[in-house]
Structure 1
Amino acid sequence: MAAILYFWLVTLKGKVIWLTGASSGIGEAIAHQLLEHEVKLIVSARRKDKLQKLVDQYGKEHVALVTLDQAQVDSLPGVVKEAEAQFGRVDIAILNGGISQRSLTRETGLEVDRRLMEVNFFANTVITKELLPGMLERGYGHFMVTSSLTGKFGFKLRSAYAASKHALHGFYESLRFEEHQNGIGVTMVCPGFIRTELSKTAVTGDGSAQGTMDNNQDQGMLPEVCAKKMIAALEGEKHEVVIGGGERYSVLLKRFFPKLHFNIVSKRSGR
Structure 2
Amino acid sequence: MSFYGKTVWITGASSGIGAALAREWAGRGAKLILSGRDRTRLQDVAAKLDTEKLRLPFDVTEEEALAEATTKATEWQKGGVDIFVANAGISQRSLAAETDMKVFREIIEVDLMAQIAATQALLPHMLERKSGKLVFISSIAGKVGVPMRTAYCAAKHGLIGYADALRAELSVAGIDVHVVAPGSVSTNVARNALEGNGKTRGRSDKAIDEGIAPDDAAKRIVDAIELNQREIIVAEGMEEAMGEARRTPDQLFDQIARLVSDGYAEKMKEGAK
How many angstroms apart in 2 are the aligned matches of 1:42 and 1:15? Answer: 11
Question: Residue type of the partner of 2:52?
Answer: H
Question: Residue type of the partner of 1:214?
Answer: D
How many angstroms apart in 1 are the aligned matches of 2:107 and 2:22? Answer: 24
Contact 1:187/1:233 (CA < 8 Å) preserved in 2?
no
- Cross-structure match for 1:76: 66
TM-score (norm 2): 0.86
Contact 2:23/2:49 (CA < 8 Å) preserved in 1?
no
- Give the alignment partner of residue 194 of structure 2, picking from 185, 196, 203: 203
How many angstroms apart in 2 are the aligned matches of 1:73 and 1:115? Answer: 15
- Pairs aligned (count): 245
Matched residue SS, 1:190: strand
Matched residue SS, 2:172: helix
Question: Residue type of the partner of 2:112?
Answer: F
- Cross-structure match for 2:259: none
1:169 aligns with 2:126: no
- Give the alignment partner of residue 158 of structure 1, picking from 144, 149, 152: 149
1:181 aligns with 2:181: no
Post-superposition Cα deviations, 1:208-261, rounded to whole Å, max 9, x if no partner, equal 111000111011111111000010011111110111111211134468xxxxxx
- Cross-structure match for 2:52: 62
- Give the alignment partner of residue 242 of structure 1, picking from 216, 233, 236: 233
How many angstroms apart in 2 are the aligned matches of 1:37 and 1:48? Answer: 25
Question: Residue type of the partner of 2:55?
Answer: L
Contact 2:94/2:149 (CA < 8 Å) preserved in 1?
yes
How many angstroms apart in 2 are the aligned matches of 1:86 and 1:26? Answer: 24
How many angstroms apart in 2 are the aligned matches of 1:184 and 1:105? Answer: 37
Question: Residue type of the partner of 2:243?
Answer: V
5+ unaligned residues in a row in structure 1: which ranges?
1-9, 256-271
1:24 aligns with 2:15: yes
Post-superposition Cα deviations, 1:48-83, rounded to whole Å, max 9, x if no partner, equal 112213433446x70110002123345322221122
Matched residue SS, 1:249: helix
CA gap of 1:74–1:104, structure 2 versus 1, over 3 A, is farther
Matched residue SS, 1:182: coil
- Cross-structure match for 2:219: 228
- Give the alignment partner of residue 47 of structure 1, picking from 16, 33, 38: 38
Post-superposition Cα deviations, 1:2-61, rounded to whole Å, max 9, x if no partner, equal xxxxxxxx11111111011111111111111111111111011111112213433446x7
Question: Residue type of the partner of 1:84?
Answer: T
CA gap of 1:161–1:74, structure 2 versus 1, over 3 A, is farther
TM-score (norm 1): 0.86
Contact 1:71/1:115 (CA < 8 Å) preserved in 2?
no
How many angstroms apart in 1 are the aligned matches of 2:43 and 2:232? Answer: 30
> Where do 1:97-116 residues align within 5 Å?
97-116=88-107
How many angstroms apart in 2 are the aligned matches of 1:57 and 1:216? Answer: 28
Instruction: Give the fraction of aligned pairs with identical amino acids, expressed as a percent.
Output: 36
- Cross-structure match for 2:86: 95
1:125 aligns with 2:116: yes
Matched residue SS, 2:81: coil
CA gap of 1:16–1:252, structure 2 versus 1, over 3 A, is closer
How many angstroms apart in 2 are the aligned matches of 1:44 and 1:144? Answer: 15
How many angstroms apart in 2 are the aligned matches of 1:111 and 1:73? Answer: 20
Contact 1:40/1:87 (CA < 8 Å) preserved in 2?
no
Contact 2:186/2:214 (CA < 8 Å) preserved in 1?
yes
